[in-house]
Structure 1
Amino acid sequence: MSWKLTAFAPRLVIEAALVAHEDAFDWDPDIVLSGSEVAEDKPDDWQLEAWLPRKPGRTEKAALAALFAGTAPKFAVEKLPDTDWLVASQQDLQPIRAGRFHVHTPDHPAIREPGLLDFTIPASQAFGTGQHATTAGCLAMLTHMKAQGLVVRNCADIGTGTGLLAFAALSLWPGALATASDIDAVCVDVVEANARTNDMPMGPGPGELTMTVADGMNHRLLAARGPYDLIMANILAGPLVSLAPDFGTALVPGGHLLLAGLLETQERAVRAACRKAGLRLAARLVNGDWSILWMRKRRR
């Protein structure tokens, strides 16, 4: 990314803009957005950042302004040096502990404790190093699901990114079939490299992970390896709503669905879509502004 635009506004304004971005089906994929608080001691002061591989013109600025219901805030424009800003932004990430899991980059040592599952996930172009509230929340929820007696024989991680959630599921249920997919082909090499780093076996059999590139559930491999006891999807609220019927179809009766990537303000829409697909809420947790949902398919 060689250009960045930054605007400051109250948290609710930025969150509404992020929701509008998710609903913009004609959005230019070259424009990557991120919303975050400016400082820990100012939780209601947020910034919206947009990265582009080219100098932003009138079209790009108009697209950003259209995300705001009222008057759009002023965007500051700056040219950036040639750096992989996604990787750079993840450098110096601190280790996290979530449920039974400890996740860290290679810059930090592993922790060997009884019952603790340790993963080394380098910073990369794929999402899911564990530090984001949604990924950490999923790890905590998976730990809770295991503690509640959930047995998983066949699972899928949709939008896997780094592969972390798939690795976590295989660690909790080591005899399960596991399938991971992502719409971004770059994730294939990332997942395979992370699997080698963490001694996670790749392959089609029990206790192994199979990786593919797919748009949502639309892939022959995902259909052939289903139905699933557990589907995990840490993506975005818009796709979760759209994919709810496919998730319901791909689960066995009584099967489980772990959803994340949605703001707490988006939870109602996601849960409504899941109810229409025959899924009910089993448990939820909120990590920061993000909701993590454990849904369960009706048995009949």
Structure 2
Amino acid sequence: MSADYPTWQTQADETWKLSFPVDRATADRIAAGLPEIEALDPAPVLVVSEPDPVQPDAWQLDAYFEGAPEAEALALVQTLSSTGSATPERLPDSDWVTLSQGFLAPIRAGRFFVHTAAHADAVPADAVAFRIEASRAFGTGHHETTAGCLEALDTLANEGARFDRIADVGTGTGLLAFAARALWPDAAVIASDIDPVSIEVVRENMGVNGIAEGSVALAVADGMDAPALAAAAPFDLILANILAGPLIALAPEFARAAQPGAIAVLAGLLESQAHDVLYAYREQGFAPRAHLQRGDWAILVLVQGS
């Protein structure tokens, strides 16, 4: 262990918390997932607080550790700080996961209500609810991009759209695939991710939310490169909440996998990146249908016209 940090005796029933400010760019990186931190065993739960409206770059990170954090894990998390090192504190005995989830307020996006176990008793009677815990995969519904995609799906359903073959590419927790299945229960839905851990998380979330095994097909895939995706194509709805660069790179693959008239819901891009993403998809025959904005984030709803 490094001499820069104290050594604690780890106990499994202890919860430790490390808090410090982060800037907006770091908060976005955390929301998109940090593989080097997710690889820790056990991995800490990272909870990023929304900024004060009058201080848009002032975010806070709370990191929760199961047991006293090892020096290496502590040092890795502290590299995210914008102000230098911070000192962890031991919290009173408690269920560390439930404690950390309690800070994630439920999200209402159209008819959807996304919550953690800590807020299971707050589900509105008229909502389509999903329990999604912050975990090893991105897409809890608490980031603007995921909530914006849920709103886009809700709007498509309200407009009478119908889909038969749906792909959620870069699925993360599986939330968007679950939402699409709830709206169009007769459709064939497949969820894919480049990270095998995400697919494990999707399976866990299916069980938690009472979604029958096999009702959402799962695939580990780099983009559209998987036999299961090829067999399920062509799609009339493609969901991709990833990042602007991969979205641009995937435009030709999405075009080949989309049937004429297909809808693509694209997210994970900043509003400042929307023009470049839209240009890439126009080149592949897609036309804009809707453009949503949540904070600095854009959600593009496109239609394949070729």
Superposition TM-score, scaled by structure 2 size: 0.74
Distance 2:303 2:207 in 1: 32
SS at match of 2:148: helix
Which residue does 2:57 correspond to in 1?
45
SS at match of 2:260: strand
Distance 1:268 1:283 in 2: 13
Which residue does 1:249 correspond to in 2?
256
Shift of 1:151: 0.7
* CA shift in 2, pair 1:79/1:31, >3 Å: farther
Deviation string, structure 1 residues 133-182 (Cα, Å, up to 9, x no partner)? 11111111101011112110010101111111000000000000000011
> What are the residue-to-residue correspondences of 1:49-128 with 2, within 5 Å?
53=73, 55=75, 76-77=84-85, 90-107=101-118, 108-109=120-121, 111=123, 113-114=125-126, 116-128=127-139
* CA shift in 2, pair 1:238/1:18, >3 Å: farther
* CA shift in 2, pair 1:48/1:262, >3 Å: farther
Shift of 1:183: 1.2
Q: Is structure 2 residue 182 aligned with structure 1 residue 176?
A: no
Distance 2:250 2:107 in 1: 30
Q: Is structure 2 residue 289 aligned with structure 1 residue 295?
A: no
* CA shift in 2, pair 1:38/1:161, >3 Å: closer
Shift of 1:112: 5.0
Count of paired positions:
266
Which residue does 1:210 correspond to in 2?
217
Whether the 8 Å contact between 2:19 and 2:88 is mirrored in structure 1 is no
Distance 1:241 1:88 in 2: 38
Which residue does 1:68 correspond to in 2?
none
Amino-acid identity (%)? 43
- Give ranges in structure 1 of 5+ residues lacking alignment: 23-27, 65-72
Which residue does 1:133 correspond to in 2?
144
Shift of 1:188: 2.0
Deviation string, structure 1 residues 189-234 (Cα, Å, up to 9, x no partner)? 211121112121221xxxx101111111111111111110101011
Whether the 8 Å contact between 2:101 and 2:116 is mirrored in structure 1 is no
Distance 1:80 1:273 in 2: 45
Deviation string, structure 1 residues 64-96 (Cα, Å, up to 9, x no partner)? 9xxxxxxxx9762458699xx999865531111
Which residue does 2:36 correspond to in 1?
30
* CA shift in 2, pair 1:295/1:198, >3 Å: same
Deviation string, structure 1 residues 77-125 (Cα, Å, up to 9, x no partner)? 458699xx999865531111101111111113253524x2111112211
Distance 2:55 2:112 in 1: 27
Distance 1:86 1:132 in 2: 19
Whether the 8 Å contact between 1:152 and 1:229 is mirrored in structure 2 is yes
Distance 2:290 2:98 in 1: 33
> What are the residue-to-residue correspondences of 1:144-293 with 2, within 5 Å?
144-203=155-214, 208-293=215-300
Distance 1:243 1:217 in 2: 8
Shift of 1:8: 6.5
- Give ranges in structure 2 of 5+ residues lacking alignment: 6-17, 39-45, 64-71, 91-95
Distance 1:170 1:8 in 2: 36
Letter of the aligned partner of 1:99 in structure 2? G
SS at match of 1:30: helix
Letter of the aligned partner of 1:129 in structure 2? T
Distance 2:282 2:82 in 1: 40
Distance 1:112 1:46 in 2: 32
Shift of 1:18: 7.2
Distance 1:86 1:219 in 2: 34
